[in-house]
Chains A and B, each alone.
Chain A
Amino acid sequence: MTGTGAKFCLEASGLGCVRDDRSLFEDLSFRLSSGQVLLLEGRNGSGKTSLLRLLCGMRQPDAGEIRWDGEDIFRLGPDYHTHIAYVGHKDGVKHDLTAFENLKLARGLAAPNLDTSIEDALRQVELWGFDDVAARNLSAGQQRRLALARLLVTRANLWILDEPFTSLDSRGIAIVEALFSNHVAHGGMLAVTSHHQVQLGDAETIRIDLSS
């Protein structure tokens, strides 16, 4: 799907995160390469979201560093951002815009994926036909799928997803899992937290349990 076939690697070493004077995790190290999945597990409040936000570069780690192909992600800045796409708890869908307009904006702000048009992306998440509907009139599951469709219109290699299956029905989960396996099979990377058991075929998975 990314079509570049390029190999990338995301490396974290000695990561630590402190929130409200409480250490969420410390000395966390891992290495994620193209075609691999990083699955974060742990109880509520164990720091899964915080770790994902660190990986996005939205927050400075309190200890350690994160490198993309050997370079610190904070030094890379927007250059790193062309490689990532993030869907968090707040799904970043503008309710007063239509599904199509939402994706048009997402495409314009990121490095656009020229192989996938907005129509293709909406078809893949089975929202084509709702393209001119204001996002506020979509159901919660449809809004979630719209947010996830944002991943498809960019060339991002690393998808960072915080509970992507929230409010999706079983059909929605199947669609999204298919997108994920396809992305990973084409050399993409995935960093994901989920309470739902993620089925991604034979993708190589790195599991990190933050509760322990």
Chain B
Amino acid sequence: MNTPSLSRAFALLLWRDLLLAYRRRTEMINPLLFFVLVTTLFPLGIGADPALLREVAPGIIWVAALLAAMLSLDSVFRSDFEDGSLEQFLISAQPLSILVLAKVVAHWLITGLPLLIVAPLLGLLLDLPAASISTLLVTLALGTPVLSMIGAIGVALTVGLHRGGVILSLLVLPLYIPVLIFAANAVESAGAGLPIVAHLSLLTALLVLSMSLSPLATAAALKISLS
């Protein structure tokens, strides 16, 4: 009973990050606002022809979600780096990778989950058929956690730099592209009545892969950034 408990530390850190997000909720709403704004501006820019909108909707929604995810990335570790909390995680009695996983899960709950909630509305706005909207939701549920997981590695590598923003985008964006291609394509195929099992399987594989490997890579990157 004296030994530090791994699951307790995980839950505690998750609780802490959600609490911090709640106390800084005005900042946290930014990515969601960006997502909604970009998607609603498109019909104004390219014209409100339903057939055209239906065709470009999967791409627009997914690109906006991807950029919103990137916009929110820096907040994963930035404030913890600045106030010294990251140093404390590094020398905590728990493996750093598990703590990292808790932080990334919290980050997804804060920035990824809200996108999922508003996405059906945006789908309706762009006149997506029902089959596409449900597929859109599934791809977002599978894809946005991958964005958070991959992004965490990039942030961990750049958190020690003063202006890491550009490097972060260059590091992370190429790794986001497979998610974008498979997800947007799945939504399109669903709209055309084509099978989407292959797309979803690939997205699931990416999710499993990133969930198992990203915490280890992120922990290693943090150790480099802090030494």
CB–CB A105/B4 < 8 A: no
Taking chain B's interface residues, is the majority helix, strand, or loop, or is none over half, making it mixed? helix
Q: Tell yes or no: B75 within 8 A of A by CB.
A: no
What CA separation (Å) do A88 and B86 show in the bound complex?
A: 12
From A57, A88, A101, A110, give the contact of B93 (CB < 8 A).
A110
What CA separation (Å) do A87 and B43 show in the bound complex?
A: 54
Name the interface size band of chain A.
Answer: 20 to 34
Taking chain A's interface residues, is the majority helix, strand, or loop, or is none over half, making it mixed? loop
Residues of B within 8 A of A56 (CB): 87, 90-91
Q: Tell yes or no: B201 within 8 A of A by CB.
A: no
CB–CB A84/B9 < 8 A: no
CB–CB A84/B12 < 8 A: no
- Which of B17-25, B141-149, B150-158 is the contact stretch? B17-25
CB–CB A108/B23 < 8 A: no
CB–CB B2/A114 < 8 A: yes
CB–CB B23/A96 < 8 A: yes
CB–CB B92/A92 < 8 A: no
Known A-B contacts A86-B91, A97-B19; the reply to A92 vs B9 at CB < 8 A is: no
CB–CB A106/B93 < 8 A: no
CB–CB B91/A81 < 8 A: yes
CB–CB B93/A78 < 8 A: yes
What is the CB-to-nearest-CB distance from A108 to chain B, in angstroms, rounded to a whole number? 4
Q: Quick one: CB contact mask for A83-121 with B, threshold 8 Å, 1 for yes?
A: 010101111111111000100111011111010000000
Residues of A within 8 A of B34 (CB): none
What CA separation (Å) do A53 and B8 show in the bound complex?
A: 27
What CA separation (Å) do A90 and B99 show in the bound complex?
A: 20
CB–CB A105/B16 < 8 A: yes
What is the CB-to-nearest-CB distance from A56 to chain B, in angstroms, rounded to a whole number? 5
Residues of A within 8 A of B20 (CB): 94, 96-97
CB–CB B83/A111 < 8 A: no
A positions within 8 Å CB-CB of B = 53, 56-60, 77-78, 81-82, 84, 86, 88-97, 101, 104-106, 108-112, 114, 155
B positions within 8 Å CB-CB of A = 1-4, 8-9, 12-13, 16, 19-20, 23-24, 82-85, 87-95, 99, 223, 226-227
Given A78-B93, A110-B4, 10 more pairs with CB closer than 8 A: A57-B91, A58-B90, A77-B95, A78-B94, A82-B4, A93-B84, A94-B16, A109-B9, A110-B93, A114-B2
